[in-house]
Structure formats: C-alpha cells, structure tokens
Amino acid sequence: MKIVNKFYPHALVILGFILVSLIYFYPVLQGKQIFQSDIAQYTGMAKEQNDFRAAENTEPYWTNSAFGGMPTYQLGANYPNDFVGKVDDVLRFLPRPADYLFLYFLGFYGLLLVLKTDPLKAFIGAIAFGFSTYLIIILGVGHNAKAHAIAYMPLVIAGFILVFQKKYIWGGLLTMFSVALEVNANHFQMTYYLLIFLLILSGYFAFNFIKEKQFKELGIAVGVLAIAGIFAIGANATNLMATSEYAKFSTRSNSELTFNPDGSKKTNENALSREYITEYSYGIAESFNLIAPRLFGGSNHENIGKDSRMYSFMIEHGVPYDQAEDFVSGMPTYWGDQPIVAAPAYIGIVVFFLGVLALFIDDRKIKYVFLGGALFSLVLSWGKNFSLLTDFFIDYVPMYDKFRAVSSIQVILELCFPVLAVMGIQSFFKLNGDPKLQQKALVQTTVFGLGTLLILLLAKNMFHFSGSSDNYFLESYGPDFVDALKEDRMSLYLADLLRSAFFVILSFGFLFCHLKYKNVIITLGYILLFALALLGVFYLFIVINEKSLLTIKSFVPLISFLFTYVVWRVVSKKDYNKLIIVLIGLLMVSDLFLIDKKYVSAKDFVSPVEIAAPFQETPSDAQILKDTTHYRVFEVSGNMSSARASYFHNSLGGYHAAKPRRIQQLFDYQIAKNNMEVLDMLNVKYIIQTDKEGKEFPTINPNTNGNAWFVSAVKLVNKPDDVMKALDHIDTKRVAVFNVHEHEAKFKNARLKKQWDTTGTIKVVQYKPNYIKYQSDNGKDGLAVFSEMYYKNGWNAYVDGQLTDHFPVDYVLRAMEVPGGKHTIEFKFEPQVVKTGSIITLASSIGMLLLLIGGIYFKKFFRKDSQRNQEETKK
C-alpha cells in the first residue's frame, strides 16, 4: 500500500502529461500528421535511403540522391546495437509531435522532483516549460532533433545535481542514461549549449566543495560523472564516430581554399564565416519579447485581423473584403534584427513574474545558477549585437564556431526561468508563518514587473517600427502601405504590453488574496468548479449529438470532469495552498497556450499521404524519369538548397545544415558562374529551369561526360586552390586535375605524368546507392575517372575482385588506374567506422546494463544493511 501511495501521484502526473500532449495536438487522434517544412525537405533527401532500406532490409549508409552523393550518417541512418535508441522509442510512444511535447514535460518533471518539488507544482512547472513558445514552434517547423535534445536536457541537469548532492549511485545512473539519450537525439548544437550550462552548474558545486574542504567528495563526484559520461558516449559511439568522420567532409569543417569565389583573399579559415554564424542574432531590445510576445511584431507571417490598420487600408483602396482578410492573415509585422522569425521566443509573463519572485524570496543559492545560466545565454544570443563576447567565443572557445543561429542558445534561458518560477511559488508557501515577508516579496516582484512594462511603454517613441523588408514594400506598394504596417506594429507593441500587465496584475491579485482574503480564493475555486463542470456537460451534449469521436470535442468533457474532480477535492477540503497553486498554474499555462495556438494549431495538420509524399511529380520530373540510365539532375531554382529534386532524382542539390563542403564550393566557385564543363563532369544530364512566366521545363545536357571515362593526361597541382583554378578552363573529358599532396604517399608524380590510352570504354552495369558495378574494355592501361563523389572513408574499389586503390581528381571525383583488357570494376561502400563503432556501442550498452543492475542491487543491499544496523542499535 505504501508503494501505491508513493507512486500514485506520479502516475497521475504522467497520465496528465499524456492527455495534455494529445489534446494540444489532437489531430493526431484523427490519424493526421503535422506538416513540418524541414521534415518535408528531409523526406526528399532520404527518399533513396528509405526505399533501399525497405527493399533490401539493410542500411546503405550512402545516398546519391543529394549533393551528388554523401553518407547518410546525418540523414537518419540506423546503426547496429543502438539500444539507447530503442529505449528512446519506448519513451516516445505517442504520435508525433505529441511525443516530443510529452518528453518536454517528463524531463522537466524529473528535474523539479530532484529539486524537492511536490508533484502538483512540478506538474504545473513542467507544463509551463513545455508550452514555452519556442519549444512549440520548433515542433511546428520540423526541428525534431533540436526538440528531442532539448527534452532530455532537464534530466541531464537533474543527474548532475544528484551526483553533487552525494547521491552518487542514483545520480550516476540518471546521468549516464540521460546523457546517452541526449547524445542519441543527435543535435550537437543543443548538447553543446547544455554543456555550457553544466559548466556553470558544476562550477557552483565545485566551489562549495572546495569551500567546505570536501576534496574527496568532489573527486568522487567528478569520477562518477566521468564514468557515466564514458559509458553514455560509448553507447552512441557509432553515430559519434561517423558524424566526426563526416564533419571533416562537410561545410562545418575548415575550408582548404584560401580565396573567395570573386578571387579576393580569404580573411579567415573558419568553416562558417562570422557573418553566417551570427546571422540570427537576437536584438538587445528584442529580448523583451520574452515577457511581451509581439513587442517586435511577432513573426514574419502574423495574422493581424480585421481590426488592423492594414485591413482598413486595403478596403479604402478598393480591395474586396475576402481578399483583404486573406491578405492581413499573414503580414510581415516582425521588425527585429533577425532575418526570419516564425514566432517570438516567449517564456510567459507569469513564469517571469514567479521567477523574479524566487529571486526575492527563495533562500537557496542554486537559484543564482539558474539566473546566471539564463542571463549568460541571453547575452550570448545577442551575437553580433554584443560582439565583444561573441567574437571571444568564436575565436577562443572550442567548437563554438561550428554552429550558427546563435539566438537558439536561449533554450537555456527557456529552461532556467520555469525552474525559477517553480522555486518562487515553492518559497512563497514556505513562508506561511511570515505573511509580512510574503507580502514584501510579492510587492517587490509586482513593482519590478509592472515597472519594466511601464518603462517599455514610455520608450515606445524611441523605436522606429521599421522592418528589414520595408524597402521592398515601399517600392512595390508605396509609403502609405508601409505607414499602415508600422501603425499595426505599434498597435501590437502596445497591446502586448497591456496584455502582460494584465497577467502581472492577475498574478499579484491571486497571491495577495491568498494572504489577505482567503475566502476570495475559495469563491474563485467554486467559480472554477462550476465553469469546468458546465463546460464538461456542454461538450458532452455536443459529442453525443454530433457523434464526434476522436476530436478535441470528445476530450473536452473528459478533461473538464477530471479537473472538476481535482478542484472539488481541493475546494471541499478548503486547501487554500493547493487551490491557489491550481489557479496560478492555470493562469501560467493559459498565458502560454493562447500565444502558442497563434503559431501552431490544428490547421497545420494534414493527411499522412501528404507527409509521406510532400513533393508532387511535375511534368518535368515525369519526362526525366523516362530515362532509366544513371545520371544527375540540377534544379536551377533550388539553388543547391532544396530537396525537391532529390525526392525524384539523383540531384546535385539538397537541403542540409551540414552539406558536403566540396560540392558546395564547386557550386559557389564554378556552377554559379555557368561553368558547364563542371556540370559535364558531374554527369548532370538534365537541368530543370524556369521560363519568364515561372513555368519549369527540363533541358538535356548533350555534352555530359557520362558515368565514367578514360582521360589522356593528368594535370598535377600542389594545393586545393590550384585544383579549383584549373577547373576554370579545362577539358575534363581529356584531362584530370590531381593534387599531388592529397595522395602522394601512394602515387608519385612520375607515374601520373605519362600519357594514357583513351580508346577504351567503361559503362555502368549495376547501380545501388552503396554499390556500383562497371565493365571496362581498353586495349592498354588507362586512367578512368568516375563521376561519383570521392569519400575516402568507406568507398572501396575492386578490379576483378581485387582491392585496388583509387584517388581524388577534379576536386570531388574518383579516379583509378585500369589495366588493359576487359575488367569488372566495383565500388562498394564499406564504412569501417560503422563496424568499429558498433562493437564499442555494444560493449558500452552491456556495461550500462550491468551498472544499472549493480546500482539497484547495491542500493537494496545497503538499505537492508542500514536498517539492520539501526535495529541492532535500538536493541
């Protein structure tokens, strides 16, 4: 019975998380799926890989459908012995994206429990964290890996705290499994930001250990964390090793070229330029979006409604009512410093209010860790707007220059403030015996909150409300249009300041009534009870009449009656503390919920068919697909940044944050300058173009070099710069460019200077993503060039079954010596990194399991031994 009583509240909480997740994303219960733009692009990129997996029941680990060819390590490749992934699958049992929302709740709930929070407050705090606007928006656009990694962050922090609290076994086990899940989520930028916060957290605890001269305990804690980290990383060894290997091949590694596409000298060798890294820098003043969502206009596609000045402007100029209404449903009201914003990063004014309350009232020093993490991440998110700190991190902090969109580090702030909010409400009720301190802290918090909003209101005239796209609108629609747009931006500014002030006043009112007028709280409880019951009955009749099962209407009665029961239990017992917590929780969640629904709602869900096939075949695609030979397609309008063509063809383009570096450079330095010779050597047989009317059409490239060919000579150069420059003017059908320093250990200059026979033929006879078979027929020894991407870590070449060396030419392609006669040439993708990593993963996973069993056994044995000693002491 004790066990039931102990776990009963947590079971109810988890059930609540499931229900809230499903209700918010209720279309998943109708079989619908959310349309995520980034996932649509991923589907295009991974089409060949997924088709191969379904047909062959194995992994290709390579695809030729994107960027001319690349490993699938960052395209959802499945690795052997990935037991951590299987655990993750169990935790994500809900339909997507409800599964990620559930993970947000679950992970944050675990952290709050470690911080000694009771289940009710932890439940409310977890909901507030999960409904933070940014966390919902990334689910809407398809940043699934990012959401996945964020969801496990709180559990990692919880594990660290337990270890530093000297609960070495449970803390070590939680750290080990949560870090394993965090790394398995495969979003290293988010994990990197988590590490920054963990350094702050560890520094706080280490300082306390040193201050108390507990050097042994500090050493044990560090050792436990090290062991947990080693096993967690080992359990993800395959992915980490493969990603590390591919990173050197991607745009995230430093460029070998020392000049820019325009010929000017490069000023820095970083893989990502400083401008690219800081392109999405959060504005300093824009930071107040965190407490007033549309202070800077909200998004680039904001629905401002029929009450807007723009709607009136459109009607005044003779635009039909329906067209005007449609027009104002997606206005670019955002006027901050970032190029594109899908929604404001709003943490909630009630969350902010309670977080500030914690600073005034909570006596636990750890609050400064979360405050410091929040402020540090905020300042780093300013990027180029606070270049002193940002430049230091780019230049001197390892790995920081590998990630772009610096504003996304605000996820740390979005994690820290809900923790502070729960600490605030916790501490407020701990001071029940001292209402003067409660009232003082409450007044201080309210003055701070309203004072901040008042300053922003008075500062309204300091802002220009001009957006980066206004010049376009000025040229296209005239100054009156832009003036109307600015008026609407100002209206949003004022409206959301007043909205936030309203929620601050309500928060103050609820807590003040708890101190002075408890009967008001009971009255509010009865009103809430009546409203919930009435809502449940109302929707129950609708469901019965309409027979509307598996819609949000069918779940409203269930939730309403459930909450009615909970509130009734609280009101009937006159439990003022729990009642006010429920009221504050509803206020906090409703604040966030109302903003979230503006940006991610039921309208974003579509049928599964549209998700499975996000791109429709065009007449151009149909015409090209009649050709069943092996070739590439270049879609000009995609500009190397769209995976649409990858869904149907072996495309030169694609969509990925870490593209193969050299193919991107070929585009920037050659293809963008209309160097057709480079398209010829890349076997681009079809080019999809658009005419003046925007209608696309395919053109055939008659000069393509084909799948493979024999060259007569090799042009020897000494560095990558020379290879790229040689491609400016070269006949790739006759001459291959070779950098002697890339393969000089096996190929001496003398061997490549001789003339080669070009009369032979070589053709593809079998093609798979990870296997290509050729037949060659040449009278004398020849040097064959293959129009396939060179990737030294995995591709092996065989001539008549004998492993034969091959080497890079023409910056991206493969070449090899082919002896005279008829031969079978095979290229097989056999990545050693997958084999080695899988062994390490298996060993580490077994080690984790043994540690789990050992930890549980030790705790059980230790507890029994402790109880026995206590009993003997009593005797």
Q: What is the 3-state secondary structure (H, E, C) of 509-560?
A: HHHHHHHHCHHHHHHHHHHHHHHHHHHHHHHHHHHHHHCCCCCHHHHHHHHH
Q: Count the Cβ atoms, other than its own, within 10 Å of residue 519.
A: 10
Tell whether the model's pLDDT for residue 32 goes beyond 90. no
- Tokens 């047989």: give the residue: 685
Taking a C-beta distance cutoff of 8 angstroms, is the pair 536, 561 a contact?
yes
The least confident of 167-171, 373-377, 597-601 is: 597-601
Q: Closest by alpha carbon to 657, among 124, 316, 279?
A: 279
The tens digit of pLDDT for each residue in 229-285 reads 999 999 999 999 999 999 889 888 888 888 888 888 887 666 677 888 888 899 899
Q: Which of 2-16, 215-229, 691-705, 850-864 has the highest mean pLDDT?
A: 215-229
DSSP 335: -
The least confident of 177-191, 263-277, 727-741 is: 263-277
The sheet with strand 632-635 has its strands ordered as 632-635, 684-690, 696-700
The tens digit of pLDDT for each residue in 626-652 reads 999 999 999 988 778 888 889 999 999
Token pair recorded at residue 127:
């909901």
Report the distance separating Cα 302 and Cα 848, nearest Å: 48
The tens digit of pLDDT for each residue in 765-809 reads 999 999 999 999 988 888 999 999 999 899 999 999 999 999 999
| Burial category of 686 from C-beta neighbours within 10 Å (exposed 0-12, middle 13-18, buried 19 and up) | buried
How would residue 372 be classed by pLDDT, with cut points 50, 70 and 90?
very high
- Tokens 């031969």: give the residue: 823
Token pair recorded at residue 130:
């999960």
Q: Closest by alpha carbon to 481, among 299, 295, 301, 312?
A: 312
The tens digit of pLDDT for each residue in 127-161 reads 999 999 999 999 988 888 999 999 999 999 999 99
Taking a C-beta distance cutoff of 8 angstroms, is the pair 344, 293 a contact?
yes
Report the distance separating Cα 227 and Cα 175, nearest Å: 10
The tens digit of pLDDT for each residue in 285-296 reads 999 999 999 999
Taking a C-beta distance cutoff of 8 angstroms, is the pair 338, 406 a contact?
no
Length of the chain: 875
Q: Cα 429 to the chain's mean position, in Å?
A: 37
| Higher-scoring residue by pLDDT: 544, 333 | 333
Calculate mean pLDDT across residues 345-358: 94
Calculate mean pLDDT across residues 77-101: 92
Q: What's the half-sphere exposure (Cβ side, CA atoms, 13 Å) at 236? A: 27
Report domain extents, the chain.
Answer: 261-516, 708-830
The sheet with strand 771-778 has its strands ordered as 761-768, 771-778, 821-829, 795-799, 802-804
Taking a C-beta distance cutoff of 8 angstroms, is the pair 259, 206 a contact?
no
Tell whether the model's pLDDT for residue 551 goes beyond 70. no
- SS3 state at 168: helix
Residue 873's pLDDT is: 46
Q: Closest by alpha carbon to 683, among 764, 770, 778?
A: 764
Q: Closest by alpha carbon to 602, among 29, 15, 19, 142?
A: 29
Taking a C-beta distance cutoff of 8 angstroms, is the pair 29, 94 a contact?
no
Residue 301's pLDDT is: 87
Report the distance separating Cα 794 and Cα 808, nearest Å: 14
Q: Closest by alpha carbon to 663, among 795, 796, 788?
A: 788
Q: Alpha-carbon torsion 239, 240, 245, 246, what sign?
A: positive
- Tokens 């929604």: give the residue: 343
Taking a C-beta distance cutoff of 8 angstroms, is the pair 600, 137 a contact?
yes
Task: Label the pairing between strands 802-804 and 813-818.
Answer: unpaired
DSSP 250: B
Q: Count the Cβ atoms, other than its own, within 10 Å of residue 212.
A: 10
Report the distance separating Cα 66 and Cα 646, nearest Å: 6
DSSP helix, strand, coil percent of the chain (3-state; round to 5): 60, 10, 30
Report the distance separating Cα 445 and Cα 644, nearest Å: 52
Q: Count the Cβ atoms, other than its own, within 10 Å of residue 375.
A: 13
Residue 769's pLDDT is: 93
The tens digit of pLDDT for each residue in 270-279 reads 667 788 888 8
Residue 3's pLDDT is: 64
Q: How far apart are the first and last CA of the chain?
A: 28
Q: Closest by alpha carbon to 823, among 871, 774, 868, 785?
A: 774
**C-alpha dist (Å) from residue 90 to 86, 173, 236, 355:** 6, 18, 17, 34
Tell whether the model's pLDDT for residue 493 goes beyond 50. yes
- Beta strands (DSSP E) in 260-320 are none
How would residue 337 be classed by pLDDT, with cut points 50, 70 and 90?
confident
Taking a C-beta distance cutoff of 8 angstroms, is the pair 234, 179 a contact?
no
Main-chain dihedrals φ then ψ at residue 862, nearest 5 degrees: -65, -40
- SS3 state at 828: strand
The b/e string for 129-163 (b: 16+ C-beta within 10 A; e otherwise) is bbbbbbbbbbbbbbbbbbbbbbbbbbbbbbbbbbb
Q: What is the overall mean pLDDT for the chain?
A: 88
The least confident of 62-66, 540-544, 609-613, 683-687 is: 540-544
How would residue 552 be classed by pLDDT, with cut points 50, 70 and 90?
low
**C-alpha dist (Å) from residue 227 to 411, 656, 714, 806:** 27, 34, 52, 41
Calculate mean pLDDT across residues 368-385: 94
Taking a C-beta distance cutoff of 8 angstroms, is the pair 790, 739 a contact?
no
Residue 2's pLDDT is: 63
The tens digit of pLDDT for each residue in 210-233 reads 999 999 999 999 999 999 999 999
The b/e string for 263-279 (b: 16+ C-beta within 10 A; e otherwise) is eeeeeeebbbebeebbb
How would residue 750 be classed by pLDDT, with cut points 50, 70 and 90?
very low
The least confident of 488-492, 604-608, 866-870 is: 866-870
Report the distance separating Cα 596 and Cα 330, nearest Å: 16
Report the distance separating Cα 119 and Cα 109, nearest Å: 8
The tens digit of pLDDT for each residue in 657-672 reads 888 999 999 999 999 8
Which residues are CB-contacts of 383 (< 8 A; sequence separation ≥ 6)?
A: 277, 278, 280, 281, 282, 390, 406, 407
- Helix 144-164 and helix 411-430, axial crossing angle in degrees, nearest 10: 50
Report the distance separating Cα 351 and Cα 591, nearest Å: 9
Taking a C-beta distance cutoff of 8 angstroms, is the pair 129, 104 a contact?
yes
Which residues are CB-contacts of 725 (< 8 A; sequence separation ≥ 6)?
A: none
DSSP 280: S
Tell whether the model's pLDDT for residue 867 goes beyond 60. no
Residue 810's pLDDT is: 93
Radius of gyration, CA atoms only, the chain: 31
Q: Closest by alpha carbon to 514, among 431, 423, 418, 417?
A: 431
Token pair recorded at residue 159:
């594990």
Calculate mean pLDDT across residues 200-207: 95
Report the distance separating Cα 64 and Cα 567, nearest Å: 59
Q: Which of 391-395, 462-466, 762-766 has the highest mean pLDDT?
A: 762-766
Token pair recorded at residue 781:
């020894």
Taking a C-beta distance cutoff of 8 angstroms, is the pair 657, 250 a contact?
no
Which residues are CB-contacts of 109 (< 8 A; sequence separation ≥ 6)?
A: 13, 17, 122, 123, 125, 126
Report the distance separating Cα 621 and Cα 855, nearest Å: 58
Residue 875's pLDDT is: 46
Indicate the pTM of the whole model. Answer: 0.90
Amino acid at 415: L
**C-alpha dist (Å) from residue 725 to 254, 259, 306, 434:** 19, 10, 58, 78
| Higher-scoring residue by pLDDT: 16, 502 | 502
Taking a C-beta distance cutoff of 8 angstroms, is the pair 78, 89 a contact?
no
Tell whether the model's pLDDT for residue 433 goes beyond 80. no
Residue 550's pLDDT is: 56
